[in-house]
Structure 1
Amino acid sequence: MTVDTVEDSVRTTQANLKYLLPGTDINRRFVSAGVEVNTGKYGPYPTTIRDGREIREHFVLDRHGFRLLDAPTAIADFHDTAEVEAKYQDEVRGYVQQAYGADLVVPMNWMLRTSAKIVPKKVADKGGKAGDSKPYRHYGGLQPAAGEVHVDTEPGRQLAAAQAAYAKARPDGPGFKRFIISSFWRTFTPPPQECPLAVCDARSVRDDEGTPNVLWVVDKIPEGDAMFAPMDDDKQLAAAIFRHSPDHRWWYFSRMHRDEALLFKFHDSDRSVGWRTPHTAFWDDSFGAEANVRESIECRSIAFFE
């Protein structure tokens, strides 16, 4: 990988990033309201993370796999689900379409995350007892910051997902030659944040890296041997999780504010360019007591080139 001289001139911080360790071949991620549990074992690896703030214009989506965008938002309260649902996906569609120059962008699910402790919301049922307000959906909810090195898509399952999304959005369309699945990530708490997002330069990741990690949305997280019981994993959504490589080159953008967004690739069908970006939350100690809780919203989309 060729490294531009300007990249070695920037501020850096040190953090422990969690990579997959050797262990079970059954890798699942169980998700419930406010909780995420992986069956894989992860170990902390001391890592240098470069701060791209001062050279933000240097980054190119088809080279690095990510880019920091100016992205003013009209959303007044990201915790107002009705407001976000009514307005935000259209905002994301516009910014992503402009960034890629795509013919069609289909926004998908969105999610809030926080570095603070999550207290499950409860409501009283007819009998006067406390209970969950409704069954959990992995959409529009509040989850912890994702703390392992991963990409939210597993390469072998993405063409079928893109074909289904395109057929639904444009049933009479001419078809597409290329598609890009991305995350549009925005933090909306004041900078600096204690637990920002780090992204890995796509050029530093080999095509053969990544282990499938199957997503199971459940009402209750299983325990012990039940986490490894036979399940129909092939029909579930899956992410890719990563083992440590000294070649990985990590970046973040310090002091992000609510009118910026980090756009980064989950999967690009054109593998001649930077086609995916492993990422993870990390604890940034470099700002000390000045740092604030991180709350963020992420929205996935598929960009199509017809």
Structure 2
Amino acid sequence: MQMRQKPHTNQIQEHQIQFQDNPNNEIQVESNENQPLIDKGQSQFDPLEYRYPSLHTPASVYQKWERHQNDQGQVLINDSSIDISIASMNINEQQDKSTSDVKILTKEDILRRELDQHHEKMRKQAEELRNVIQPRTVGVTVVAQQDVETTESLSDFSQMATNYLHKVSPNDTLERICLIYNKSKNAIRKANDFMGDEIYFFKELIIPDCEGPLYENEAPKYTEEQRRKEQISKYNFLNIYSCLEIMSRTLMDKYRDQKSYKAEAQYYLDLTNYDLRKAFDEFDADLKFEQQQRKLNKKKKGGFFGLFKKNR
């Protein structure tokens, strides 16, 4: 589409706009078929407007035509982006030819451009609001989104920190836990997401809004001797009883000189920490030592009641 006007003050103004949907297929639009578009371009770039700059404010979009020999812009038509340059030719026949570059926009490019425009619009609105609010407001600060998220996370963390973990033991029941922590059954069920009263399948239970148990069972303080006796009575009662009976009966069957050997068996079992084999070895060693001492005493006395002593 070519558009010409009569020259004014020894100048020839030429406006040339070329539209392309495809770089390979060029379509020139006749001026008669697109008269509205020509009128629009003519009204936008009319040299008559530029002759009277005094009629316009400094912020006006109109500028003098002589100062801009080559104006470029970008127009979006359908899915094509067209770069348009408008050239002017003066009396010295110095002309800048108009050019147009066509780039097919994909859906991603269109979406990216819309997002950029939206972000730019939101940024401008935020700046305008900030400029209006700050001079007229006292003691009001704009809280950033990141600060709001951090405060929410801190509140969640503090709420989680008030909970208490109770390790479930085999003797625990739901009623006992409610009494220890002064909580209702429904509160504990809701915090641990279960129904009923069975808690044997839990290793730990969450006690909501609690810093610890109200009642604690203090462990009894035992001495080392009491602890040892308790362990012996708890784990080795049958072993102790059986060892004592076995040793006493064995000694009675072997020597047959006493009615009972329970006292001796108890002594040697305590001495060897209820090791039956060691107890028998200790008993045999002491018995041999006693027999040897008896023989030595007889040799020292000599004869019958010491009447006949051997001469050395």
Is TM-score (shorter-chain normalized) higher than 0.5? no
Q: Which has the larger radius of gyration?
A: 2
Higher helix share: 2
Higher relative CO (Cα under 8 Å, sequence separation at least 6) belongs to 1
Give the TM-score, by structure 2 length. 0.18
- Of Structure 1 and Structure 2, which has the larger fraction of its residues in strand? 1
